[in-house]
């Protein structure tokens, strides 16, 4: 069975500082993809970053980077230079590449950026 | 990027009535669409997987007679909440897979907020 765990229900970060949101996953399938989504209060799911299980390098997208530690089964999101607009819920998700079907979501982390 | 729309964005209905929510892929074809439900301050829970031209696959615990899903074309899937009750009030989000894209990519709609009074 697949499982995503986010252990931080809420996080606070000072504006312009960096913050790490934790995510661990569990699967026995060797081919998987890991995603991070941002969900502001409006409810839309905004794609942030993707990491494939066979990718050798950690993914980066602008201020977002994914710290992928395969042996530890962790895929932490690092947001650099936090902005007030980063305040939102953040979800880690996983899908199995070969089946390409459902997403498995974590419980989410609520991030608040303090001015 | 690929765009998925949902209609309506919010709806209020009376208990006992039915509500239909549409999910459309605007600039790509989607053989598979997914329907999620999200309660306040909780994660997204997959309700069902909708495949074009065939019956939807429902997750355990989801009543298929209550949540009717129809995926009649490659760009449209609908979710009908039948005989809605206040406990069905939730945020419903659909997502779609792009036929031509990477098999694991999904694009999310903006969601529909349902309130049953």
pLDDT tens digits for B79-96? 999 999 999 999 999 999
Residue B48 to chain A, least CA–CA distance (Å): 9
- Per-residue pLDDT reduced to its tens digit, B20-47: 999 999 988 888 899 999 999 899 999 9
Tell whether the torsion through CA atoms of A13, B106, B56 and B74 is positive or negative.
Answer: positive
Beta bridge partners, B93, equal B36
DSSP secondary structure of A14-29: ETTS-EEE--EEE-S-
In chain B, which residues touch A (CB < 8 A)?
Answer: 32, 34, 38, 41-44, 46, 49, 91, 93, 95, 97, 103-104, 106-108, 110-111, 113
Residues B18 and B81 sit within 8 Å (Cβ to Cβ) = yes
A88 pLDDT tier (thresholds 50, 70, 90)? very high
């Amino acid at each position: 069975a697949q499982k995503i765990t986010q252990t931080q229900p809420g996080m606070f970060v000072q504006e312009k500082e960096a913050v790490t949101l934790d995510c661990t996953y569990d699967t026995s399938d060797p081919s998987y993809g890991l995603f991070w989504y941002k969900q502001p209060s409006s409810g839309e799911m905004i794609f942030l970053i993707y990491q494939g299980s066979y990718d050798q390098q950690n993914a980066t997208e602008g201020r977002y980077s994914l710290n992928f530690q395969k042996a530890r089964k962790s895929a932490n999101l690092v947001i650099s230079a936090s902005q007030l607009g980063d305040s939102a819920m953040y979800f880690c998700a996983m899908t199995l590449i070969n089946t390409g079907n459902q997403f498995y979501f974590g419980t989410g982390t609520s991030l608040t950026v303090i001015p | 990027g690929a765009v998925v729309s949902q209609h309506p964005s919010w709806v209020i209905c009376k208990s006992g009535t039915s509500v239909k929510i549409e999910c459309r892929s605007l600039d790509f074809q989607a053989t598979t669409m997914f329907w999620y439900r999200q309660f306040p301050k909780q994660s997204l829970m997959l309700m069902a997987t909708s495949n074009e031209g065939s019956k939807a696959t429902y997750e355990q615990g989801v009543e298929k007679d209550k949540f009717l899903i129809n995926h009649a074309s490659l760009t449209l899937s609908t979710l009908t909440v039948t005989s809605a009750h206040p406990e069905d009030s939730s945020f419903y989000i659909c997502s779609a897979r792009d036929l031509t894209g990477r098999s694991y990519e999904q694009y999310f709609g903006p969601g529909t907020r349902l309130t049953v009074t």
